[in-house]
Amino acid sequence: MIYFDNAASSFPKPPAVSRAVGQWLKSNGANPGRSGHKPALDAGGVIFDTRLLVCDIFGVSDPENVVFVPNATYGLNFLIQGLLKPGDHAVTTDLEHNSVLRPLKLLEHRGVSFDAVSTDLYDDGKTVENILKHIKSNTRLVICTQCSNVCGKVMPLHEISLALPKGVSLVVDGAQGAGIIPINLSKEGIDYYCAPSHKGLLGPQGSGFITVCGKRPAPIIVGGTGSESFDLNQPDYLPDLLESGTLPTPAIKGMYEGMKFIKNYGVDKIYRHKLNLVRYAVSALEELDGVITYVDPQRALFAGTTCFNVQDKDSDEVARYLAQNGVCVRSGIHCAPLFHQKMGTQKTGMVRISFGCFNTVSEIDAFIKILKKYLKK
């Protein structure tokens, strides 16, 4: 099997990840932060150590500002719905996932307005300019992806942050960038960041985190926290404000091991490897008659994801043939409708190939050989 669907969920995982999850499930089932016995304290230690590692890798100054969430979609909802009020305005982009667009659309029915601005894939200055043109007196948030989940375009986050006027906070969807693109949230001026465990962080599904370095969001889920239990109001301090219910300690333990692997391997090295694979793949695809590519990773910063189509073919048909021949890719709209409108692929979708740190050039060669057979049909 050739696995080129790492933007959906990374595979394989480092062996330490599966070992850690399995050993934890065998040895400890305690609830972190709820009891004083050793298993519970050990579980609490896992949670705290993971907060510290997030701080280390992502440049967060206070571990209490790291909040665990079930996945990036939940995290983005916590931030978008928790920060915007009726009468507020937000700016987002045409590269965004529905995890951003749908919460904004939901809030539109509650008196929040938003604009989704056009990005320039090869001119970051124009992208920043377009964002600034849509800032209004009631704009509270700019929400953008770290990099596109369809084409891999890396957004100029630091430039956006520097350009924003006072009172406008930056929320970054790091689903496709965490563990792939080096980032220091404090130095780059990012107020809120969201990442899942199971993609670039190489952990299991079921966990992720948000970082809160700006105004605290209002909680959209409240309940038991193990703290202030006589007070029927939600605790007003982090992380308890946003962490109701039992945390998934086995998943967080796995995320810890995935992040430890990334730190030891080097995010810079991972990024260079994936960029080289993307450039190699796009160059090979461009040599095939009947294949349409949509971005040039030689002209701007792109991460480990790209997309293509076969002329006059639906992307689902191409992906199905590849799957039948042992190549795992994703076809369709990829939950990014505005990007497909931008590229004119609403009807056909695109075939997305997304690389992990364990993929190789020889796998791309094998994939190209299989695609050539399809083109000869």
**Contact assessment for residue 44 and residue 182, using Cβ atoms and an 8 Å cutoff:** no
pLDDT tens digits, one per residue of 257-283: 999 999 999 999 999 999 999 999 999
Q: For residue 156, what are the contacts with CB-CB under 8 A and spacing of at least 6?
A: 124, 127, 128
pLDDT tens digits, one per residue of 153-207: 999 999 999 999 999 999 999 999 999 999 999 999 999 999 999 999 999 999 9
pLDDT value of position 377:
79
2-9+266-375: CATH homologous superfamily? Aspartate Aminotransferase, domain 1 (3.90.1150.10)
pTM: 0.97
Q: For residue 103, what are the contacts with CB-CB under 8 A and spacing of at least 6?
A: 76, 77, 80, 81
pLDDT value of position 358:
98
pLDDT at residue 328 greater than cutoff 90: yes
Q: What is the CATH T-level fold of the domain 15-265, as seen in this structure?
A: Aspartate Aminotransferase; domain 2 (3.40.640)
CA distances (Å), 331 to each of 247, 345, 346, 366, in order? 33, 11, 12, 19
Which residue spans of the chain are classified as CATH 3.90.1150.10?
A: 2-9+266-375
pLDDT tens digits, one per residue of 67-78: 999 999 999 999
Q: For residues 136-155, give the mean pLDDT.
A: 98
Task: Work out the mean pLDDT of the chain and round it to a whole number.
Answer: 97
Between 65 and 377, residue with greater pLDDT:
65
With a pLDDT cut of 70, the percent of the chain lying above it is 100
pLDDT at residue 318 greater than cutoff 90: yes
Please give the full DSSP string across 134-164, using - where no structure is assigned.
Answer: T--TTEEEEEEESB-TTT-BBP-HHHHHHHS
pLDDT at residue 98 greater than cutoff 90: yes
Q: For residue 231, report the phi and psi dihedrals to the nearest 5 degrees.
A: -95, 120
Q: For residue 165, what are the contacts with CB-CB under 8 A and spacing of at least 6?
A: 135
Which residue spans of the chain are classified as CATH 3.40.640.10?
A: 15-265
pLDDT at residue 21 greater than cutoff 90: yes
CA distance 19 to 9: 19
Q: For residues 23-27, give the mean pLDDT.
A: 96
Q: Which two tokens stand for residue 188?
A: 């780059």
